[in-house]
Amino acid sequence: MKKNKINWTVPKGTELTELDKKVLFYQSRGHLVPSRRLIKTPEQIEGIRKSGMLNTAVLDRVAEKICAGMSTAEIDKLVYDYTVEHGGIPACLGYEGFPKSVCTSINEVVCHGIPSEEEILEEGDIINVDCTTILNGYYADASRMFVIGRTTPQKQKLVDVARECLEIGMEAAKPFGFVGDIGNAIEKHAKKNGFSVVRDLCGHGVGLEFHEEPDVEHFGKRGTGMLLVPGMVFTIEPMINMGTWEVFIDEEDGWTVVTEDELPSAQWEHTFVVTDNGLEILTH
Ligand code: MF3
Ligand code: CO
Ligand code: CO
C-alpha cells in the first residue's frame, strides 16, 4: 500500500488550531500538504515584502536604463550597485557558483543567462532580467521582460502571452486549492496561443531561502500537487516558448538554458503569499 507523505506534524501537547485541523483533514485524504514550517509568520511575510520592495526598485532602475547598445554586464553592474547601496545582497551572486548578480536571458535563452561585456542589446531583442534580493535575511524573486525598441509581432505576442500566463496562474491559485491548478491554467493559456511551456524548470517556495518547497510547475492537472495554505510564499515564473518546449543547458558555462529549436522564449516572475482570498504579490 502506498503510504501518504506526512508533512504536517503538530508538536505533542499543543492544541490543534483550526488551520491544523483543516490541513490534517486534507492530509488524511491522501493530499500532499506543506510542512508547517513553510507557513510564514506575519513578521516573516513583512520581511519578504520589504525585500520585494527593494527587488522591485532594482528592476525599475533597470527599466529606466535598458536600451540598445548596452551590454548585459552593464545591467549586472546596475543591479549590484543599486542593491548594495540600499542595504541588500544580490542573491544570485555566488549562488551555486553563479558568477553574476542577475540573470539576463535574450531571445532564445530561456533563463539563467550570464551577463557579459561582449553581449550587446540590439533593437528587436527581447530580454528577461531575473533579479533576486536578500534583505535582512529575506529573499524576494521576480523577473520581467524588456523589449528593446520595437520587435516582431510574433515576439511581442510571446512576451504578452507569457505575462498573461503569470496573471492567469496567479488567479487560478486559491487557498485550499492545489499547486496543479496554477500550472493547468498556465498551460491552457499558452497552448491556446500556439506556444509551449518549458517543463524542466519551475517556480518554487522562497522567502527564508532562495529555493524552498514546493516546486511550482507551469503545467499539470487541477486538484493535484501540494495543497495551498495561507502563509505559503512561492514564485510563479512561467517560461513560454514560441516553438518546442524542449531546452538544453549550454555546456560551456553550465548555466545558460536555451530552447532546443533556438526559437525565442519569454518569462515573467513574481513572489506571492497565499492569503485567505487568493494570492498577493510581494514583488509589486
Ligand atoms: N532567479 C532564478 C529563479 O527564478 C534563479 C537564478 S539562480 C542563478 O529561480 F544562480 F542563476 F542566479
Ligand atoms: Co527569479
Ligand atoms: Co524564481
Q: How many whole angstroms separate alpha carbon 226 and alpha carbon 214?
A: 7
**What separation in Å is there between the alpha carbon of 112 and the centre of ligand 1?**
6
Q: Please, which residues bridge with residue 141 across strands?
A: 132
Domains of the chain, by residue range, sit at 33-281
Of 240, 204, 203, 199, the C-alpha closest to 110 is 240
Q: Confirm or reject: Cβ of 234 under 6 Å from ligand 1.
A: no
Q: Is 119 in the pocket of ligand 1 (CB under 6 A)?
A: no
Fold of 33-281: Creatine Amidinohydrolase (3.90.230)
Instruction: Quick: pLDDT tens for 38-56.
Output: 999 999 999 999 999 999 9
- Cα separation, 219 vs 257, whole angstroms: 19
| Residue 39: per-residue pLDDT | 98
Distance 141 CA to ligand 3 centre (A): 5
Question: Does position 164 have pLDDT exceeding 90, yes or no?
Answer: yes
Q: Residue 55 and residue 5: Cα distance in Å, rounded?
A: 35
Q: Nine-digit cell at 1?
A: 500500500
Q: For residue 95, give the ligand 1 atom closest to its CA.
A: 10
Atom of ligand 1 nearest to the CA of 211: 9
Distance CA 103, CA 178 (A): 29
Q: Which atom of ligand 1 is nearest to the CA of 132?
A: 1
At 182-210, the pLDDT tens digits run 999 999 999 999 999 999 999 999 999 99
95 lines ligand 1 (CB under 6 A): yes
Task: Look at residue 163 and tell me whether its pLDDT is greater than 60.
Answer: yes
Ligand 1 touching residue 268 (CB < 6 A): no
Categorize the per-residue pLDDT at 4 as very low, low, confident or very high, splitting at 50, 70 and 90.
confident
Any atom of ligand 1 within 6 Å of the Cβ of 212: no
Q: How far is the CA of 174 from the centre of ligand 1 (A)?
A: 26
| pLDDT score for 3 | 67
Helix axes 179-192 and 153-172, enclosed angle (nearest 10) = 150
Q: Cα(first)–Cα(last) distance of the chain, in Å?
A: 46
Cα separation, 157 vs 19, whole angstroms: 42
Q: How far apart are CA 43 and CA 78, in angstroms?
A: 30
Counting ligand 1 atoms within 8 A of each CB, the residue from 55, 80, 92 with the most, and so the one to mutate, is: 92
Does the beta carbon of 8 sit less than 6 angstroms from any atom of ligand 1? Answer: no
Tell me the mean pLDDT in the region 207-232: 98
CA distance 132 to 122: 25
Amino acid 2: pLDDT: 63
Looking at the CA of residue 91, tell me the nearest atom of ligand 1: 12
pLDDT confidence band for 1 (50 / 70 / 90): low
3-state secondary structure of 2: coil
Residue-wise pLDDT tens digits, 80-118: 999 999 999 999 999 999 999 999 999 999 999 999 999
Query: How distant, in Å, are the alpha carbons of 42, 46, 133, 165, 170 from that of 53?
Result: 16, 11, 9, 23, 19
Q: Residue 182: its pLDDT value, please?
A: 99
The total of other beta-carbon atoms located within 10 Å of residue 27's CB is: 19
Q: Whose CA is nearest to atom 12 of ligand 1?
A: 92
Dig out the grid coordinates for 280 from the structure.
498577493
The pTM (predicted TM-score) of the whole model is 0.98
What ligand is nearest to the CA atom of residue 144?
A: 2
CB of 218 closer than 6 angstroms to any ligand 1 atom: no
Distance, CA 13 to ligand 3 centroid (Å)? Answer: 37
Rounded distance between C-alpha atoms, residue 27 and residue 46, angstroms: 28
140 closest CA partner among 215, 278, 218, 237: 237
144 HSE (CA, 13 A, CB side): 15
Average pLDDT value over all residues in the chain: 98
